[in-house]
């Protein structure tokens, strides 16, 4: 157990909470004075908004979005954003099952690009392709079972 974990466990324990409460009560004036000095030195506004403007600009940037997507793809599927984009181009920007494009048409006439999801075998993590949301959910609902999907196709054909 690390020193930080021990300290955190102590702080959340009843004994730790009781000790902290006693310290705060005994040193209330001292703590109040230190906080006032800090606010006077730094400024209350800076404490509340320190770095948020620059951080917001970075968070809304294209490079931040690409970094987050790349990290997600690496962590969950073991591929990079470049590999995803290559697969996307190979599939022509459409779902591998239904062939639907990755755009959504809104009632007001706007068209929005919708991402294709990485479909993978859950047992081996082998990537099968990129699917639209409906096909991805459909495959998952059939538990990735070819047999169940064939029975469902037979059912639809008969009815």
pLDDT at 150: 92
Of the chain, the percentage scoring pLDDT greater than 90 comes to 25
Q: Break the chain into its structural domains and give their ranges.
A: 3-50, 52-90, 95-159
Bridge partners of 21, per DSSP, are none
Distance CA 104, CA 46 (A): 42
**Residue range 36-90, pLDDT digits in tens:** 888 787 766 665 555 677 777 777 888 888 888 899 999 989 999 999 999 999 9
CATH 3.40.1800.10 fits 95-159, yes or no: yes
Q: What is the pTM of this model?
A: 0.57
CA torsion through residues 88, 93, 94, 100, sign: positive
pLDDT at 124: 84
Bridge partners of 101, per DSSP, are 94
**Torsion angle in degrees (nearest 10) through CA of 136, 138, 139, 145:** 170
pLDDT beyond 60 at 126: yes
Which of 113, 89, 117 minimizes the C-alpha distance to 101? 113
Which of 47, 62, 120, 40 minimizes the C-alpha distance to 87? 120
How confident is the model over 9-23, as a mean pLDDT?
Answer: 86
Angle between helices 28-42 and 14-26 (to 10 degrees): 80
pLDDT at 131: 92
**Residue range 139-148, pLDDT digits in tens:** 889 988 889 9
């Amino acid at each position: 157990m690390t020193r930080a974990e021990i300290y955190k466990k102590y702080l959340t324990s009843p004994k730790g909470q009781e000790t902290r409460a006693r310290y705060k009560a005994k040193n209330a004036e001292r703590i109040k004075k230190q906080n006032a000095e800090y606010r006077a030195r730094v400024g209350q506004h800076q404490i509340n908004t320190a770095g948020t403007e620059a951080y917001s600009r970075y968070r809304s940037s294209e490079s931040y979005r690409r970094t987050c997507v790349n990290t997600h793809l690496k962590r969950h599927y073991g591929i990079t954003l470049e590999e995803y984009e290559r697969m996307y181009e190979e599939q022509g920007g459409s779902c591998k099952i239904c062939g639907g494009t990755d755009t959504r048409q809104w009632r007001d006439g706007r068209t929005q690009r919708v991402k294709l999801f990485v479909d993978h075998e859950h047992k081996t993590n082998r990537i099968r392709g990129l699917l639209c949301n409906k096909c991805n959910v459909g495959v998952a609902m059939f538990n990735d079972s070819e047999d169940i999907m064939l029975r469902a196709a037979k059912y639809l054909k008969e009815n």
